[in-house]
Amino acid sequence: MKVSVIIPVYNGGASFYRCLSSLAEAFPQPTEIIVVADGDTDGSSELAKEFGARVFRLPVSQGPAKARNIGARAATGDILFFVDADVEIVPDTIDQVAKVFESDPDLAALIGSYDDKPGAANFLSQYRNLFHHYTHQTASEEASTFWGACGAIRRDVFLKVGGFDEGYRYPSVEDIELGYRLKKAGYKIRLCKTVQVKHLKRWGAVSMLKADFFYRALPWTELIMRDRQPMNDLNLKWESRISVMLAFGVAIAGMISAWWWVAGAIAAVLALLLLALNAPVYRFFYHKRGKKFALKTIPWHWLYYLYSGLAFAIGTVRHLFEQSTVREVNPSPSKKYRLDSRGT
């Protein structure tokens, strides 16, 4: 089975070099490596050529969705394997992907996971990528979404559903949106937990919060509202939803406690419940990086629940407002008839 690797890149730097180097060590080699340089200015396109990749260069950045679609249309493989420019594969990744599709003719797409050894050493990069690893490793293998950093799909299926939505001009939820369309069309997606790649990105506080809030949580809420059926998987498990409510309860009660001591007791009880509900992930952090690291993740994890909940609230209100605006501009037939019958 022929596998085409497709990599969108925008000024990939040293991480992109490591990505290409890992692909050069793959056995067996993919049918082809297609790199779409999305308005690069650092020589990423030339570097890709040195590694023997087929290179398509966009003069200005148009986003990873557009770049991936260009690569997919040019690909000759039966399987399109999308890899981000800041990940390293392992030597048998291509073989793993091909064998999964060969063993299941009904499988349309698969996604993998980040490994538990992130490339960047700083705390937030370790926390963010380990949390991602934990989320995927504890999720259902029957996936409800796609993932552009390490995801493969049959080329004919990809083209049939229309590829990635190019309306997303920045790295966002274009992969999740594709997965939702695949599921709606009745296609099967599998989370293969043994297909793991190393994420090399270095996260800082600002970059992480900006990406999580504006490019993930808000647009993901819009998708949930559009599909009208939140799924109990990945970041949308019932434990996460309850944790959001508990985190807000702790924050609100904690602020009120300055004037009312009972609120402090309520905040303490809610905090204990939040800790207990999330004990498995803190235990995971403890086993991977020790007690100090695990304790340090707690405030960041609770902050994650707070801004995710805030994004969901904002996204929901915005969706309802847009829906009401649409109804006013385009009234339903029954409403239009009633207006006409009054002679107005």
pLDDT of residue 109 exceeding 50, the answer is yes
Average pLDDT over residues 241-261: 89
Any idea which of 80-84, 172-176, 244-248, 252-256 has the lowest mean pLDDT?
A: 252-256
Q: Which of 192, 200, 173 is closest to 100 using CA atoms?
A: 192
Any idea which of 61-70, 297-306, 325-334 has the lowest mean pLDDT?
A: 325-334
Average pLDDT over residues 88-101: 98
Helix, strand and coil percent figures for the chain, each rounded to 5: 55, 15, 30
Sheet order of strands, 3-9 included: 54-58, 32-38, 3-9, 79-83, 150-154, 107-114, 188-199, 87-88
Q: Return the higher-pLDDT residue of 331 and 135.
A: 135
pLDDT of residue 199 exceeding 60, the answer is yes
pLDDT of residue 165 exceeding 60, the answer is yes
pLDDT of residue 333: 40
pTM: 0.90
173 pLDDT band (50/70/90 cuts)?
very high
Q: Residue 87 forms beta bridges with which residues?
A: 199
234 pLDDT band (50/70/90 cuts)?
low
In the three-class reduction of DSSP (H, G, I as helix; E, B as strand; rest coil), residue 198 is classed as strand
Average pLDDT over residues 314-322: 82
Residue 282 burial (10 A CB sphere; 0-12, 13-18, 19+) = middle
328 pLDDT band (50/70/90 cuts)?
low
Please tell me the distance from the alpha carbon of residue 290 to that of residue 287, in angstroms, as a whole number: 6
Please give the domain boundaries of the chain with CATH numbers for all domains: 3-203 (3.90.550.10), 204-344 (no CATH)
Please tell me the distance from the alpha carbon of residue 15 to that of residue 134, in angstroms, as a whole number: 23
Average pLDDT over residues 323-338: 49
Please tell me the distance from the alpha carbon of residue 86 to that of residue 298, in angstroms, as a whole number: 27
pLDDT of residue 322: 75
Please tell me the distance from the alpha carbon of residue 153 to that of residue 117, in angstroms, as a whole number: 26
Average pLDDT over residues 301-309: 95
Q: How far is CA 259 from CA 249, 265, 321, in A?
A: 16, 12, 36
Please tell me the distance from the alpha carbon of residue 125 to that of residue 123, in angstroms, as a whole number: 6
Q: 273 and 280 in contact (C-beta within 8 Å)?
A: no
Averaged pLDDT of the chain: 91
Q: 11 and 57 in contact (C-beta within 8 Å)?
A: no
